[in-house]
Chain A
């Protein structure tokens, strides 16, 4: 089955700096890659996603890149703010037998230091 590895497990950055979280996946048939942000005491929330026919997608300070050949994708947060502090999960998704099979990374705890 699919295996998703996520690095780093923890990340501390100064406010205003950039943060990058990287994920790799094993199944070349995976075709959808969402990113979730989980704030303390809340459930994960979808913040950005990318499909396999796209190499990059940007939404304000957040961008995601996908390299299908290397099977890795990354989340980039620019001009970080304290409210960006959270746990971030990547995921790889594949449609199989009419169902969507999603595999999550183990998460990255991002701390933005004011």
Chain B
């Protein structure tokens, strides 16, 4: 069964900390995405990547960066965590060609205090 694995289910960090959220997929997918999910706002795209070492900004990239050193791993980085980044973070991947559904990870619920 194909999988997208997010390293942490729950995370509590202090304001100003540098935070790393890790995502690994085992489907050999080229495309990987980071979303945040907030009540009443649905899923909002933060960053995405269509190839190793490639990244593109999504709709809400401010305060975030990403890293994709290997095809299977896509990391989301909060350079200096703030309380308004408290959210559920979802990683997803998809095949490279055409339009397809995503496979999502289980999510990381991040609380910044």
Contact = CB atoms under 8 A, between A and B. Distances in A.
B104 interface: yes
A44 B104 contact: yes
Given A93-B99, A105-B42, A100 B94 contact: yes
B20 interface: no
B101 A46 contact: yes
Interface in B87-101: 90, 92, 94, 98-101
B99 A94 contact: yes
B23 to A, nearest CB: 11
Given A42-B107, A44-B90, A49 B101 contact: yes
Given A89-B42, A104-B42, A104-B43, A43 B104 contact: yes
B106 interface: yes
A107 B88 CA distance: 15
A46 B105 CA distance: 12
Interface residues of B, number: 23
B98 A95 contact: yes
Interface residues of A, number: 25
B106 A42 contact: yes
Q: By DSSP majority rule, is chain A's interface helix, strand, loop, or mixed?
A: strand
Nearest to B42: A106
B99 A95 contact: yes
A37 to B, nearest CB: 11
30 contacts: A31-B99, A32-B100, A34-B101, A36-B101, A36-B104, A41-B106, A42-B107, A43-B92, A43-B104, A43-B105, A43-B106, A43-B107, A44-B43, A44-B102, A44-B104, A49-B101, A89-B43, A94-B99, A95-B99, A98-B50, A99-B48, A99-B50, A99-B56, A100-B98, A102-B45, A102-B102, A104-B42, A104-B43, A105-B42, A106-B42
The 9 closest A-B pairs by CB, nearest first: A43-B104, A46-B101, A106-B42, A32-B99, A104-B43, A34-B101, A93-B99, A43-B106, A44-B104
